[in-house]
Amino acid sequence: MVPRPHTVRRVWQETHDTFTLELAPAAGDGAAPSSFAPGQFNMLYAFGVGEAAISISGDPARPERLVHTIRAVGATTKALARLRRGDTVGIRGPFGSQWPLGEAAGRDIVIIAGGIGLAPLRPVVYHVLQNRQNYGNVVLLYGARSPGDLLYAKELEQWRGRFDLEVQVAVDRAPATWRGTVGVVTNFIPRARFDPSEAVAMICGPEIMMRFAVQGIEELEMKSESIYISMERNMKCAVGFCGHCQFGPAFICKDGPVFSYESVRALLNIRGI
Amino acid sequence: MTEIALTVGTHSVLERASLDKLFAALSKRGFRLVGPTVRDGAIVYDELKSAADLPVGWTDEQKGGTYRLKSRNDGAVFGYTAGPHSWKKFLHPPAVRLWQADRADGAFEIKEEKPDAQKTAFIGVRSCDLHAIAVQDKVFLNGRYLDPYYQARRENSFIAAINCSQAGGTCFCVSMGTGPKAASGFDLALTEIREQERHYFVAEVGTELGAEILAELPHREVEGHEKAAADETVAKTAQAMGRQMDTTNIKELLYQNYEHPRWDQVAGRCLTCANCTMVCPTCFCTTVEDVTDLKGEHAERWQKWDSCFTRDFSYIHGGSIRATPKTRYRQWMTHKLATWIDQFGTSGCVGCGRCITWCPVGIDITEEVRAIREAPQSPKGSPTGDKHGNT
Amino acid sequence: METLERILAAHPFFSGMEERYIQLLVGCASNVRFDAGQYIFRAEEEANLFYLIRQGKVALEAFGPERGPIVILTLEQGDVLGWSWLIPPHRYKFDARVVEFTRAIALDGTCLRKKSEENHDLGYEFMKRFSQLMARALQATRLQLLNVYELNP
């Protein structure tokens, strides 16, 4: 219930409004770093300002490097954006459900990310690449607004150079100097190399984008119970007590954020739920 | 007086005059006494010094949007129904400091608040509210996470229930299966009996602690006619409910009617004032406030009651998920009566009627359910009765 | 060496099309290649051809004097470039600039329009395929228009 102080080890600016913090438990905090599963999130506390729910975007095999990618949009995230190396931040977590990496064993994986939605999916990529033999074809389809809004550009390039991972990146708009794809990320779905009858899809991005991605996947006659999405709602307590993150009968904080599409499909069509 | 073995489930008689002794026995054991008392034109729950603080000779009149205190001349101690307060005021207080933090040299240290060890006796808890406490127990104690503050308050509480001797104009506990007789969750349960010459309580023992306390008071074994009088009191109350709600398949009913036109109609009246959530004994939602001192060196985190009727409640960057009164009222009522069942295995409504009484425009949850049930939404739109598509 | 007929039949745009129609079309088709930087067509030019892209990348652009070229969409292997040949007044609306070396099959619109008028079954097959293509393009454009990655678009 109480945040554990963590020290900022490194800060990277990812895009004009998005940055990444690498944290480690503060000196004097004897406890070991918390391990986490891909898809889970922490509550990050900026001293005196407030808490924000931020997905964990680092390597699950290296929990001692706690990595969060944050978009500075509200009072708390803007305060977090002002943190520098050596500063302290409070952490509660990890909370929530995880991407179905067990269920995906032996099967193809199609990862579809939009905007900052790549952050909670990056641990999946790390895990899959470290355990590559356990999975079939793996495809990462990533969409962003413009080339300048792409997260983890260097890593994307490295991943694209691999023979065991298909990476496709699309932006909505680009200057003529951009040599990559312009268009919507869903255009990649019909031509990506995965077997729809066998694959597991993991999708995270703005709700509208996830809806289109699911439509694209279902056109390939993929089973909807093999599709997973990560949801976002207002969060205060992260443990199901405060009521804020309710989404129909579900609490995003403890039943989610990762849901099978099948379990939330009906709710996604109700406005203002 | 005959000595009887007081065990869970036994009934005894406690004279009206012994009520003070119950207070004294609880005080002696270190319990803070909390119960109904008259204040500001209503019967509220507050700290009591003695049985004299109870609303002796008072009753209330309740209907949609109306609460009126009236005197009665029979000296009844518990002759009224649920007021604006519920026990969550004490078990799940409106504002709680969770922790404090102090900053020095760029780092900070957090001091967790200790759970409250104050022992509290709740006197005059009605069956609807016993169920409400059980509902909040499920929220805070029975899930994957446990609220240690709530747990401490619950473990340090003594509950003296009162079986209702009358029903209020907005009561519907019978429909919800939550009353009017206290069935469990109490240490002692009293039924107040006023006969021509006598005024006494039939006391049922709910726990060993209840038995111990009762054993310290003048009491005797209940006689058949006294037990019958107690049963009849509760039975009469059950017959006099001010409201009814048909709960048959209510979860499915509401799940199938998210787009019912009734939500627009009720939203046209609803002021989104949040009164219903404040008076509701099961509503548990909170927000947190982070504050600092002027120097910015000392920070605190407070947990405060919140309401799904505020726009900010569902705010995520970019806007509110429930931006309209319609979606907020629908969230509240659907949560209370439907999604609660999926979340906690029980209804979130105990039929106390507070939300009806304290709604400034008299919105009535039983009426809203009835309206939806009488004209459920057709999955393919409402029939217009016009074969030519002219309407 | 693949025959033009087999290349046509293998392109996703023609998937499922009866062989007799493909044979009819071969006469309207030719193999083409473009180097990076080349323009396949420019806005306002007469639209007599469309392209089945086999390899490479082409950017569909608009040009604003004060903004320079603005990329609307890129097209790659399996995509179809151009439908202005189908719709009067048969003029291209955008520039098609080659981003990466591109190989394609060019189909002559005048030839196809003539064959379609003669053989409405063939014309219907074409309309079915192009209407799907156009609907998908419209949907994708709507999604782009929604600017979903912006918080307050």
What three-state secondary structure class fits A242? coil
Q: What tokens does B54 get?
A: 């109870």
Residues of chain B found within 8 Å of residue C151, distances taken between Cβ atoms: 317-318
8 A C-beta contact, residue A23 and residue A68: yes
Closest approach of A197 to chain B, Cα-based (Å):
31
Q: What tokens does B256 get?
A: 């199938």
The reply to whether A156 touches chain B by the CB within 8 Å rule is no
Under DSSP, the state recorded for A76 is H
Assign B391 a pLDDT band (cuts: 50, 70, 90): very low
Q: Which of B107, B147, B316 sits opposite A5 (nearest CB)?
A: B107
Mean pLDDT computed over every residue of chain B: 94
Architecture (CATH level 2) of domain A109-230: 3-Layer(aba) Sandwich (3.40)
* B94 domain-assigned: yes
Residue type, B364: D
Q: Which of A241, A245, A254 to mutate to test the interface with B (most CBs of B within 10 A)?
A: A241
Residues of chain A found within 8 Å of residue C61, distances taken between Cβ atoms: 176
Of B281, B283, B255, the residue nearest B342 (C-alpha): B255
Of C111, C112, C76, the residue nearest C96 (C-alpha): C76
Q: Pick from B239, B270, B288: which residue ends a domain?
A: B239
Q: Which contacts (CB < 8 Å, 24+ apart) does range C1-10 have?
A: C4/C29, C4/C30, C4/C31, C4/C105, C7/C31, C7/C54, C7/C105, C8/C52, C8/C105
* B391 domain-assigned: no
Q: What tokens does C137 get?
A: 């393009």
Same domain flag for B162 and B50: yes
What three-state secondary structure class fits A158? helix
What three-state secondary structure class fits B47? strand
CA distance B343 to B309: 20
What is the predicted pLDDT for the residue at B1? 46
Same domain flag for B200 and B332: no
Higher pLDDT, C147 or A118: A118
Beta strands in chain B, from DSSP E residues, in sequence order: 11-15, 32-39, 42-47, 58-63, 66-71, 95-104, 107-112, 120-125, 157-163, 188-194, 199-205, 220-221, 286-292, 298-305, 315-316, 319-320
Closest approach of C148 to chain B, Cα-based (Å):
11
Residue of C nearest to A210 (CA): C148
pLDDT tens-digit readout, B269-314: 999 999 999 999 999 999 999 999 998 899 999 999 999 999 999 9
Flag if A144 and C57 touch (Cβ within 8 Å).
Answer: no
CA distance A155 to A115: 15
CA distance C114 to A178: 39
Closest approach of A50 to chain B, Cα-based (Å):
6
Q: Which of A149, A179, A187 sits opposite C140 (nearest CB)?
A: A187
CB count within 10 Å of CB C71 equals 24
Same domain flag for B209 and B269: no
The reply to whether B102 touches chain A by the CB within 8 Å rule is no
Residues of chain B found within 8 Å of residue A73, distances taken between Cβ atoms: 317
What is the predicted pLDDT for the residue at C41? 96
- Those chains having 3 or more beta-carbon pairs within 8 angstroms of chain C are A, B
Residues of chain B found within 8 Å of residue A270, distances taken between Cβ atoms: 258-259
Closest approach of B115 to chain A, Cα-based (Å):
12
Q: What tokens does A100 get?
A: 């179905």
Residue B388 has pLDDT above 90, yes or no: no
Residues of chain B found within 8 Å of residue A45, distances taken between Cβ atoms: 290
What is the predicted pLDDT for the residue at C63? 87
CA distance B205 to A245: 41
What is the predicted pLDDT for the residue at A201? 98
What is the predicted pLDDT for the residue at B3? 56
CA distance C90 to C87: 6
Q: Which of A146, A151, A166, A182 to mutate to test the interface with C (most CBs of C within 10 A)?
A: A182
CA C31 → CA B194, C59, C104, C112, distances in Å? 104, 20, 6, 16
Flag if B101 and A237 touch (Cβ within 8 Å).
Answer: no
8 A C-beta contact, residue A14 and residue A20: yes
Query: How many contacts does A have with B, using Cβ atoms within 8 A?
Result: 113
* B2 domain-assigned: no
Flag if C78 and A173 touch (Cβ within 8 Å).
Answer: no
Flag if A179 and C70 touch (Cβ within 8 Å).
Answer: no
Longest dimension (CA), chain A: 54
pLDDT tens-digit readout, B8-17: 999 999 999 9
Flag if A246 and B331 touch (Cβ within 8 Å).
Answer: yes
Higher pLDDT, C151 or A187: A187
Q: What tokens does C91 get?
A: 């003029």
The reply to whether CATH 1.20.20.10 applies to domain C4-146 is no
Assign B390 a pLDDT band (cuts: 50, 70, 90): very low
Q: What tokens does B69 get?
A: 């205190």
Flag if B321 and A234 touch (Cβ within 8 Å).
Answer: yes
Residues of chain B found within 8 Å of residue A48, distances taken between Cβ atoms: 101, 103, 290-292, 296, 299
Cis omega before residue A100 (within 30°)?
Answer: no
Same domain flag for B232 and B306: no
Q: Pick from B207, B239, B271: which residue ends a domain?
A: B239
Instruction: Give the residue numbers spanning the domain of B315.
Output: 250-374
Residue B205 has pLDDT above 60, yes or no: yes
Of B227, B228, B234, the residue nearest B167 (C-alpha): B234
- Those chains having 3 or more beta-carbon pairs within 8 angstroms of chain B are A, C
Q: Which of C15, C95, C149, C150 to mutate to test the interface with A (most CBs of A within 10 A)?
A: C149
The reply to whether A265 touches chain B by the CB within 8 Å rule is no
Same domain flag for B136 and B74: yes
Closest approach of B376 to chain A, Cα-based (Å):
17
Q: Up-side HSE of residue A83: CA atoms within 13 Å toward CB?
A: 34
Cross-strand pairs, B70: B59
Residue of B nearest to A26 (CA): B107
Same domain flag for B257 and B184: no
Closest approach of B159 to chain A, Cα-based (Å):
24
Residue of B nearest to A232 (CA): B316
Same domain flag for B212 and B292: no
Residue B319 — φ and ψ, nearest 5°?
A: 160, 180
Angle in degrees, CA A180, A181, A187, rounded to 5: 155
Domain ranges of chain A: 4-95, 109-230
8 A C-beta contact, residue A213 and residue A129: no
State mean pLDDT over B233-250: 97
Lay out the sheet containing B32-39: strands in order across: B42-47, B32-39, B120-125, B157-163, B188-194, B199-205, B11-15, B220-221
8 A C-beta contact, residue A109 and residue A128: yes
Q: Give the CATH fold of the A4-95 domain.
A: Elongation Factor Tu (Ef-tu); domain 3 (2.40.30)
pLDDT tens-digit readout, C72-125: 999 999 999 999 998 889 999 999 999 999 999 999 999 999 999 999 999 999
Per 3-state DSSP, chain A is made up of helix, strand and coil in percentages (nearest 5) of 25, 30, 45
Residues of chain B found within 8 Å of residue C152, distances taken between Cβ atoms: 318
pLDDT tens-digit readout, B123-182: 999 999 999 999 999 999 998 999 999 999 999 999 999 999 999 999 999 999 999 999
pLDDT tens-digit readout, A7-64: 999 999 999 999 999 999 988 766 777 899 999 999 999 999 999 999 999 999 999 9
Assign B382 a pLDDT band (cuts: 50, 70, 90): very low
Same domain flag for B59 and B165: yes
Residue A89 — φ and ψ, nearest 5°?
A: -135, 145
8 A C-beta contact, residue B136 and residue B206: no
The reply to whether B314 touches chain A by the CB within 8 Å rule is yes
The reply to whether B327 touches chain A by the CB within 8 Å rule is yes
Lay out the sheet containing A138-144: strands in order across: A181-182, A166-171, A138-144, A109-114, A200-204, A227-230, A258-260
Of B287, B379, B377, B363, the residue nearest B325 (C-alpha): B363
8 A C-beta contact, residue A224 and residue A261: yes
Exposed/middle/buried for residue B297 (C-beta within 10 Å: 0-12, 13-18, 19+)? middle
Residue B106 — φ and ψ, nearest 5°?
A: 80, -20
CA distance C13 to B317: 42
CA distance C97 to A178: 12
Where do we find the tokens 């990310």?
A113
Cross-strand pairs, B39: B42
What is the predicted pLDDT for the residue at A176? 86
* B386 domain-assigned: no
Closest approach of A73 to chain B, Cα-based (Å):
7
Residue B387 has pLDDT above 70, yes or no: no
Exposed/middle/buried for residue C12 (C-beta within 10 Å: 0-12, 13-18, 19+)? middle
What is the predicted pLDDT for the residue at A70? 97
8 A C-beta contact, residue C133 and residue C52: no
pLDDT tens-digit readout, A108-117: 999 999 999 9
State mean pLDDT over B45-56: 96
Q: Which residues contact A20 (CB under 8 A, 6 or more apart)?
A: A11, A12, A14, A57, A67, A68, A69, A70
8 A C-beta contact, residue A100 and residue A73: no
Residues of chain B found within 8 Å of residue A249, distances taken between Cβ atoms: 338-339, 342-343
Closest approach of C140 to chain A, Cα-based (Å):
6
Split into its structural domains, chain B has a count of: 2
Query: How many contacts does A have with C, using Cβ atoms within 8 A?
Result: 66
What is the predicted pLDDT for the residue at B380? 53
CA distance B44 to B236: 25
Residues of chain C found within 8 Å of residue B317, distances taken between Cβ atoms: 151
Flag if C71 and A115 touch (Cβ within 8 Å).
Answer: no
8 A C-beta contact, residue A263 and residue A256: no
Enumerate residue ranges in chain A where pLDDT < 50.
none
8 A C-beta contact, residue A68 and residue A8: no
Q: Which of A17, A172, A207 to mutate to test the interface with C (most CBs of C within 10 A)?
A: A172
Beta strands in chain A, from DSSP E residues, in sequence order: 4-13, 18-25, 41-46, 50-55, 66-71, 88-95, 109-114, 138-144, 166-171, 174-175, 181-182, 200-204, 227-230, 246-247, 250-251, 258-260
Flag if A205 and C148 touch (Cβ within 8 Å).
Answer: yes
Q: Which of B316, B324, B335 to mutate to test the interface with A (most CBs of A within 10 A)?
A: B316
Cross-strand pairs, A247: A250
Flag if C72 and A176 touch (Cβ within 8 Å).
Answer: no
Same domain flag for B93 and B204: yes
Q: Which of A145, A180, A187 sits opposite C150 (nearest CB)?
A: A145
Residues of chain C found within 8 Å of residue A179, distances taken between Cβ atoms: 57, 99-100
8 A C-beta contact, residue B290 and residue A239: no
Q: Up-side HSE of residue B42: CA atoms within 13 Å toward CB?
A: 15
Residues of chain A found within 8 Å of residue C74, distances taken between Cβ atoms: 180-183
Look up the pTM and report it: 0.92
Tell me which residues of chain C have a C-beta less than 8 Å from any C-beta of chain A: 57, 59, 61, 68-74, 76-78, 97, 99-100, 139-140, 143-144, 146-151
- Those chains having 3 or more beta-carbon pairs within 8 angstroms of chain A are B, C
**Torsional sign, CA B96, B99, B102, B106:** negative
Assign C152 a pLDDT band (cuts: 50, 70, 90): low
Same domain flag for B225 and B323: no
